Structure 1
Amino acid sequence: MTNRVFALEGEHSALGAEFMDWNGLKLAANYSGITVEQEHDAVRDAAGMYDLTAFRMLWLRGPDARAVLDQACTRDISKLKPNRATYTCVLTDDGGVVDDSVVFCTADDAFLYVIGTGNSGEVIEKIAKGKDVELEWDNSLQLMSLQGPKAIDILAPNASGDVAGLKFFQHTKSKLFGRDVMIARVGYSGERGYEIYASAEDAPHIWRSILEAGKQHGIQPCSFASLTPVRVEAGLLFHPFDVNEDTTPWEVGLGFTIDKSKGDFVGRDAVLAKEGKERFIARGVSCPSDKPVFEGEEGLYRDGKKVGKIISPAYSHRMKKSIAIAYLDPDVTEGATLTVGNDAGAQKVAVEDLPFYDKKKERLRA
């Protein structure tokens, strides 16, 4: 297999990045001289740019590409039109979540499938055997994610086509700073944002150009360190921590991805049979704080009985809260008060429905 290309390593190094390995590629764990809080504020108030090339990208092309994806995914891919995308799941035969993913339809018979860390590629490869479809893992395509209310002010004057007119989960081919790209109105922040797919050769030029054009708008390069508080505030799941093969879509708030009206797909009968039989529900817990309180995996109690555990903790300096995605017994609902542990004087936390931030998701779809 061809080695994956990390085209922006030099750009990150120039910004003082420390690197971490994730998903078979490096990513910027943090930047010297830029705090997590500054990155977080940029995403919420202006624009922050992440390099998410460590996500994996699979092309499916050919007459049977659509049918292969439709068999693998919980969403009805047969209805997906060119220049549209959808957020979906791929399940195990038992109805657990192998992956959550985004499918981009780039032509009637061509799709870009984008995932994080799961093994849904193997599911797709199995379904594709004997079919008229070509699969290609793209090891050189670079993914930059520009998130925040000023993102469009940076992109629109420098891109061809009606980028400002893109609706949520639409995408288009464009020239950005003179280079060919695909721009998609999607993201992982809870803000209006855009993903930019570019060649390895063009990515450094585009990265530098966006940062230069964004100076007047308060842009910041953003590292993996700020992704956690940003995505937990927005109630966004991260495979394999919040969602995995041991969770059903119903348990982690992904029931909306199950299209009950479509034909057969992997795990269909099992997942439909498990609706209403949730062992737990993913919700939020929070407490006012001037510093992080949660570490992860702590037990949550009500009246001396364990009713859940913390899964993904974060600290929001903007909300002045410690927050976390937690698995809670289904009867523990918003407004309940729990304790972290069962000792005398244990920290009290409030249960909230996700997301913590922008409850109605109005900024995301602005």
Structure 2
Amino acid sequence: MSKESPLYGVHKGLGALFTDFAGWSMPVRYSSELAEHKAVREAAGLFDLSHMAEIEVTGPQAADVLDYAFVGNLSAVKVGRARYTMICNAEGGVLDDLVVYRLADEKFLVVANAGNADVVAAALAERVAGFDAVVTNKSEDVALIAVQGPRAVDILSAVTDADLAELKYYASVPAVVKGHDVLLARTGYTGEDGFELYVAAAEAPAVWQLLTEAGAPHGLLPAGLACRDTLRLEAGMPLYGNELSLELSPFEAGLGRVVKFEKPNDFVGKAALEQLAKADVPRVRVGLKGTGRRAPRHGYKLLADGVEVGEVTSGALSPTLGHPIAMAYVDRAHTAPGTQLSVDIRGKIEPVEVVEIPFYQRG
């Protein structure tokens, strides 16, 4: 049976269409995927992300644990800031990509993808051995609500006294939303400015309602997972299970910058990742631009002169750009921007062009 978000009843009342996502019953759309996507690009969207996992790491050696467990240099993160990173296995394969917030000198919040929540929790529980630190899974107690879009500041400023102008991208601050304590973070997964609010699960419906009311004059719409996927695709952001997996390292994904070999201590996967960093990986992640209205989808094969040279990982007709876009892993010889390839879309060969990622960047 699928888990239900603390906001499940709210979504039911809004007439949401639900889907099973990583074992959770989550809203895929409320009215129109296109309308929700457009709202985020032009005004704001309100998302329930309570399926994400929240894991606290505390103690005198909390930073050391995370430096050992993850590929990033988390001990260098200042209090109040956040960092995108990954957790890998000993072979350099990606177990998950994560955001880590440093809440205090000896307190971090690790946010993992729903589908990998148990994997990350188990890996951290194992890797904490020998360190003076404690790992606590807070996922059942925490809901996550996001306001994303160019009007996000206007909406949040109506319900909190937090200094939003001073809150930088990838920073967080404890805040109060009309009497409700939250961790307010300037992070997101849409390519737009916006905020993510970590709130006690029992208080999530009240906070959702406050944001809904504050957003009404600004065109805020509740937004589901369907438009979240097209938004993150336009922004060139990877999705675990598509662009990231155990079979892929950060280097194939074009995200080798998150691996910090210079940090002083050893970390899980370091030896394997050092070898991968020196090698020319055979396939790398690229962007693709199509024509017409038929979009390449996950698993579709890419061809060069009739020979398979890659595979699509994510694709859609871009609501913002008006043409098909996709991300794919392609043989290194065919990855230069401007390279012409073709894709087999349900038996019909369609042309695509290799382009830079991201496809969309806000002004």
Matched-pair contact (CA < 8 Å) for 1:285–1:350: yes
> Given residue 285 of structure 2, which amino acid in structure 1 is its aligned partner?
A
> What count of residue pairs does the alignment treat as equivalent?
355
- 1:234 partner amino acid: A
1:123-180 per-residue CA deviation (whole Å, 9 max, x = no partner) reads 2111112432222111120001111111011002321221232111110000112211
1:240-279 equivalent positions in 2, closer than 5 A = 240-262=241-263, 263-275=265-277, 276-279=279-282
Q: What stretches of structure 1 of length at least 5 have no aligned partner?
A: none
Task: Give structure 1 regions of 4+ aligned residues with deviation exceeding 6 angstroms.
Answer: 342-345
**Native 8 Å contact 2:291 2:351 kept in 1:** no
Distance 1:195 1:344, change over 3 A: closer
Q: Does 1:285 align with 2:284?
A: no
User: Which residue number corresponds to residue 237 of structure 1?
Assistant: 238
- Is the 8 Å Cα contact of residues 75 and 259 (structure 1) preserved in structure 2? yes
CA change 1:266–1:14 in 2 (3 A) is same
Q: 1:21: Cα distance to partner?
A: 2.6
Distance 1:177 1:164 in 2: 19
Match of residue 151 from structure 2: 150
1:96: which partner in 2?
93
Distance 1:40 1:90 in 2: 30
TM-score for both structures, normalised by structure 2: 0.93
Match of 2:168, SS state, is: coil
Determine if contact 2:296/2:345 at 8 Å carries over to the other structure.
Answer: no
1:308-341 deviation per Cα after TM superposition (whole angstroms, max 9, x unaligned): 1111111212211111111111122111111113
Task: Check if 1:79 corresponds to 2:76.
Answer: yes
* Structure-2 separation of matches of 1:202 and 1:163: 22
Partner of 2:329: 327
- 3-state secondary structure, aligned to 1:58: strand
Sequence identity percentage: 34
Separation (CA, whole Å) in 2 of partners of 1:239 and 1:292: 24
Secondary structure of 1:197's counterpart equals strand
Q: Deviation per CA, 1:287-310, whole angstroms, max 9, x where unpaired? A: 133x34323211111122221111
Please list the CA deviations of residues 215-271 of structure 1 after superposition, one character each: whole Å capped at 9, or x if unmatched. Answer: 111111000111111111111111122101100101112111011211311101111
Could you say which residue in structure 1 is the equivalent of 2:169? Answer: 168
Structure 1 residue 67: deviation in Å?
A: 1.0
Q: Which string of whole-angstrom CA distances, capped at 9 and with x for unpartnered residues, describes residues 16-35 of structure 1? A: 0122233343211222xx21
> In structure 1, what is the equivalent of residue 49 of structure 2?
52
Q: Which amino acid aligns with 2:127?
A: I
Structure 2: 5+ residue stretches without partners: none
- Compute the displacement of 1:356 (Å): 0.7
CA distance in structure 2 between the partners assigned to 1:113 and 1:344 by the alignment: 43
Please state how far the C-alpha of 1:4 moved relative to its aligned partner.
Answer: 6.8
8 Å CA contact 1:299, 1:308 repeated in 2: yes
* Aligned match of 1:123: 123
Name the structure with the higher helix share: 2
d(CA) in 2 for partners of 1:324, 1:342:
13
Structure 2 residue matching 1:346: 3-state secondary structure: strand
Is the contact between residue 298 and residue 341 of structure 1 (CA under 8 Å) also seen in structure 2? yes
- Compared with structure 1, are the counterparts of its residues 127 and 344 closer, same or farther at alpha carbon in structure 2 (3 Å cutoff)? closer
CA–CA distance in structure 1, aligned partners of residues 192 and 18 of structure 2: 26
Give the TM-score normalised by the residue count of structure 1.
0.93
CA separation in 2, counterparts of 1:19 and 1:343? 27
* Equivalent residue number for residue 20 of structure 1: 19
Give the one of 331, 335, 340 matched to 1:337.
340
- C-alpha distance in 2 between matches for 1:186 and 1:79: 19
CA distance in 2, matches of 1:187, 1:55: 13
RMSD of aligned Cα (Å): 1.8
- Name the CA distance, whole Å, in 1 between partners of 2:74 and 2:347: 53
